[in-house]
Amino acid sequence: GQNIDQPTEMTATEGAIVQINCTYQTSGFNGLFWYQQHAGEAPTFLSYNVLDGLEEKGRFSSFLSRSKGYSYLLLKELQMKDSASYLCAVMDSNYQLIWGAGTKLIIKP
């Protein structure tokens, strides 16, 4: 079966760095996405990785290792507005997105 695992909840301090991990087992691989979702809102796109390595975009970076079925989202200089759920999703061989349950990130002052 297809499976995406990520921690349920994480807590971090404003100004700090946090890393959210995601492991996956899917039928084929056409890329891994990270989305941010604030409560009561639809997900918004953060990053896409299809090759191994680190993709940096401002305060957010995403890493992928296809051989290990592993990715992480790194958030630097945390701000209170970063409090949200972070969803890891893998596009399988049928170009369907397989979603993780999401990681709720709580930022404390």
Partner 1 sequence: GAVVSQHPSWVICKSGTSVKIECRSLDFQATTMFWYRQFPKQSLMLMATSNEGSKATYEQGVEKDKFLINHASLTLSTLTVTSAHPEDSSFYICSARTLGTGDYNEQFFGPGTRLTVL
Task: By CB under 8 A, name the one of 14, 41, 52, 77 that touches partner 1.
Answer: 41
Cα separation, 27 vs 43, in Å, equals 24
Q: 68 — phi, psi (to 5°)?
A: -95, -5
Cα distances (angstroms) measured from residue 5 to each of 52, 72, 89, 108: 19, 11, 10, 25
Contact segment (CB under 8 A) with partner 1 among 17-25, 28-36, 55-63, 66-74 equals 28-36
- C-beta of 51: minimal distance to partner 1 in Å? 11
The residues that touch partner 1, with contacts defined as CB under 8 A, are: 30-31, 33, 40-45, 48, 50, 87, 91, 95-97, 99-102
